[in-house]
Chain A
Amino acid sequence: METELRILWAGIICYVVGGSMAIGGVVFKKRPERAVLALIVLGWLLHTAALALRWERLGQGPFVSMFEILSSNIWSLVLVFAISYWRLPAIRPSAALVMPILFVMMGWLMLSSPGEMHFPRAFRTPWLYIHVGLGKVFLGATLVAVGLAGVIQMRRTARGAEWFQRLPDDKRLDELAYRYMAMGLIFNGLMLVAGAIWAQDAWGRYWAWDPLETWAFITWLLLAAALHVRVTFKLPPRLSSAMAFAVFVVAFLTFFGVPFLSNRPHQGTF
C-alpha cells in the first residue's frame, strides 16, 4: 500500500503544481498552458498507476470507501477536464477556477482512510462499471460547465474581468457551458436508468428512495429545469451561469455529501 500511496501523492503534487501554475498564469497574465497540460497529464498517469496497483492488490475497483470514491472521481474529473483543456484552447484559463475545486477534493482525500472495505456481492456485475462510468461523465461535464460559469461570474468584478479577458465573451462561454450541461443531462439520465436496471436485477426493485438515488434524481430535475429556464426566458449569461453553479453544488453534494452524511446512502454501499 505504501508504494501506491506514494505514487498517488506524487500524482496529486503534479495536479497541485499544474493547477497553481494555471492560477498564476491568470493572475500574472502568463500563458504556461503547455506546462499546465503536461503536469495534469503526468499527474493523471501517476494517479492511474496508483489506482491500478490498488485494484490489483485488493482485487476490487475503487467503488466502496470514501477514499476510493474520492480518488476515482478526482481521476475521472481530471480526465474530462484535461480533454476539454486540450481540445478547447480558448477556455484554458478556466483551469484557474476548476483546479481549486479539485484541490478541495484532494485535501479531503488526504484526510480519508485508505483502508480497504468489503466489496459487496451485488457489485460483481458489469452494471457497476456502466452506472458509475456514466455518473463520472455527468459530473465531469458539470465541472467544466461550472468552470465556464465561474469565469462569467468572476468577470462581473473589475479584477476578474482583467484576469479572464483572454477568454471568449460571456455569451460564447454561456453557450459552451449550456452544451456541457446538456451533456450532463444526458449522462445523468443514463446513469439513473443504468442504476435502476441494476437495482431491479440485484434487489428486486428499481427505485427505493435511498438518499443517493433520490438526490441524483433531484439533480436531474434541477438540470432539466435549468436548461428549460434558459430556453424559455432567454436568460443573460450571468443568470444562466448562476444556475450552472446551483446544479454543480447539488450534484457535488449528492456525490460526496450524501455518502459522507448518511449511514447507508445507497444500496450495497457502507
Chain B
Amino acid sequence: MPHFDPTHAKPTRLLLALASLKLTLVGLLLLGLSTVVVYQREQSATAWLAAPLLLLAFNLMAAVATNRVFRRQMPLLVFHLALIVLVLLAVAGRMTYLKGQTELTEGAAFESLTGMQAGPWHGGRLDRLHFVNDGFEISYMPGPVLDRNVSRVRWKNGRGQEQRGEIEQNQPLVLLGYRIYPTSNKGFAPLFLWQANNQQPLLTAVHLPSYPANANAQAQTWRPPGGTADIWLSLNVEPDLIATDRASQFRLPTDRTLVLRHRDIRYELQPGERLVLPDGTLEYRELRTWMGYRIFYDWTIPWMLAACAMAVASMAWHFGKKFAATPWNTAPG
C-alpha cells in the first residue's frame, strides 16, 4: 500500500484505493486487452482505450498525490507526471484532430476533404487551406513496384506570396498545422468543357479509378451538371504503359481516345473533339492526371513527443540511479 505524507491532510480510503499499485496492474491489463480488441476487431480506438487510459491517469494522479515515494524520488515523479501529461494530450488530440483525403486534378486547387474524421473541437481552419496540384512524377521498379512518388504543389505563404515545392513520403507540405501527403492513389482525369443547354460553360474533370491498381477497369459513370442522364466513359490504356520487367515511370497513354455511352448510344472522342447531346455540349479538352492526398492535423504531436522523451529519460534516470546505488550481485533480493 502507498505511504501517506503526514504533513498533508489524511487521504480518504477512496483516494488510497485509487492510488493502489494493484489498480495500476488492472489498468495495464485492461489497456492490453483493449489494444488487442482494437487491433483484432478493428474497433474504434477512442471508445476502447478511453476507459483504461482514464483509469490509469486517475491511478497515477492519486498515487502522486498520496505516495511519499514520489516526493523522495524525483525521476520517478517526473516519469509518472510525464505519463499523466501523455494521457491528457492523447485526450486533447482526439478532441481536436482531423484526418481525411482529397483527390485533385492536375492544375486544380484544394477545396474539400472526402472521408473526413475530426474531433468535436477541431478549430476548422480547413477553409483557409489552399494548395494546388501541379502534377507528379512516379517511378516504378520492375514488378511494377512503386518506388518514388513526388507531387509538385503550389501554395501561398503567410504573406500571400506564391511558393512551389515537391512533396513525398518523409516530406509532407505543412500548412496551418495541416500535414499534406501524396498517396499511391492516383490516375487519369479526362478534362471536359461542359455546357448544359442555356447554361454557362463549365470546366470539369472526371477521375477514372486509381491506376495501375485498377488497370483493367478504367471506366467511370458521370452525370454532368444540369444533365438528365448519366454518361459512361472509358479509357483504353495500353497494357504495357508501366513496364513490369524494367524500371519505368507513370505516364499518360499514347492513345487518349475516350469511349462514351449516353442513352445507349456509343461515341468515341479524341482530345479537342465535341459531342452534342440532348442535354448540352461536351468538349473533351485533354487527358490529365489526378492525385490523392492525405491530410492530417494534430497539434499535440510535438508535445506528445516531448512527454514521451521526458518519460523515457526519467525512467532511465530512475533505473540508472537505483542500479548504480547497489551492484546487482550485492543487492538485496
Tell me the A residues contacting B by CB distance below 8 Å.
Answer: 90, 118, 121-122, 124-125, 168, 170-172, 174-176, 179, 182-183, 185-186, 189-190, 193, 196-197, 200-206, 209, 211, 214, 217-218, 221-222, 224-225, 228-229, 231-232, 237
CA distance A238 to B301 in the complex (A): 41
Give the chain B neighbours of A200 by CB distance below 8 A. 179, 301
Question: Are A125 and B25 within 8 A (Cβ)?
Answer: no
A193 to B52, CA, bound (A): 21
Contact A172 B328 (CB under 8 A): yes
Given the interface contacts A193-B309, A232-B22, does A118 sit within 8 Å of B143 by beta carbon? yes
Cβ-defined contact, A186 with B316, below 8 A: yes
**Within 8 Å CB of A205, what residues of B?**
99, 296
Interface string of B20-50 (1 = CB under 8 A from A): 0110110011011001101100100100000
* Chain B residues with CB under 8 A of A175: 328-329, 331, 333
Contact in complex: A228, B170 (CB < 8 Å)? no
B129 CB contacts on chain A under 8 angstroms: none
Q: Is B303 an interface position by the 8 A CB rule?
A: no
Nearest residue, chain A, Cβ from B43: A209
Determine the chain A residues whose CB is within 8 A of the CB of B99 once the complex forms.
Answer: 204-205
Q: A122-B169, A122-B170, A211-B39 are in contact. Are A225 and B311 (CB under 8 A)?
A: no
Please give me the 8 A-B residue pairs with the lowest Cβ-Cβ distance, nearest first. Answer: A171-B333, A204-B181, A232-B21, A214-B39, A204-B296, A122-B169, A193-B308, A225-B28
List the A side residues contacting B261 at CB < 8 Å.
Answer: none
Asked if A197 contacts B32 (CB within 8 A), the reply is no
Look across to chain A and name the residue whose beta carbon is closest to the beta carbon of B171: A201
Contact A121 B315 (CB under 8 A): no
* Docked pose: A18 CA to B236 CA in angstroms: 64
Asked whether, in the complex, the Cβ of B35 is within 8 Å of the Cβ of A197, the reply is no
Q: Are A189 and B333 closer than 8 Å at their CB atoms?
A: no
Are A214 and B143 closer than 8 Å at their CB atoms?
A: no
User: In the bound complex, do residue A121 and residue B169 qualify as a contact, i.e. CB atoms below 8 Å apart?
Assistant: yes
B residues 297-331 touching A (CB-CB < 8 Å): 301, 305, 308-309, 311-312, 315-316, 319, 323, 328-329, 331
Q: Is the CB of B179 within 8 A of A217?
A: no
Task: State A231–B28 Cα separation when bound (angstroms).
Answer: 15
Identify 7 residue pairs between A and B in the complex whose beta-carbon atoms are under 8 Å apart, listed by A's number.
A186-B315, A203-B181, A204-B172, A204-B179, A221-B35, A225-B32, A232-B22
On chain A, the residues within 8 Å of B179 by CB distance are 200, 204
Residues of B that sit less than 8 Å from A by CB: 21-22, 24-25, 28-29, 31-32, 35-36, 38-39, 42, 45, 99, 141, 143, 145, 147-149, 168-172, 179, 181, 294-296, 301, 305, 308-309, 311-312, 315-316, 319, 323, 328-329, 331-333
A253 CA to B21 CA, complexed, in Å: 29
Residues from chain B with Cβ under 8 Å of A228 in the complex: 21, 24-25, 28
Contact between B169 and A202 (Cβ–Cβ < 8 Å)?
yes
Measured CA separation A219–B103 after assembly (Å): 38
Chain A residues with Cβ under 8 A from B143's Cβ? Answer: 118
A176: chain B residues at CB < 8 Å are 328-329
Q: Which residues of B contact A229 (CB under 8 A)?
A: 25
Instruction: Specify which of B39, B172, B305 is in contact with A197 (CB 8 Å cutoff).
Output: B305
Q: Which of A189, A217, A232 has a CB less than 8 Å from the CB of B311? A: A189
A205 to B149 CA separation, bound complex (whole angstroms): 18
* Chain B residues closer than 8 Å to A224, beta-carbon distance: 28
Q: Is the CB of B170 within 8 A of A201?
A: yes
C-alpha gap A204/B38 in the complex (Å): 20
Residues of chain A contacted by B36 (CB below 8 angstroms): 218
* B169: contacting residue among A90, A203, A222, CB under 8 A: A203
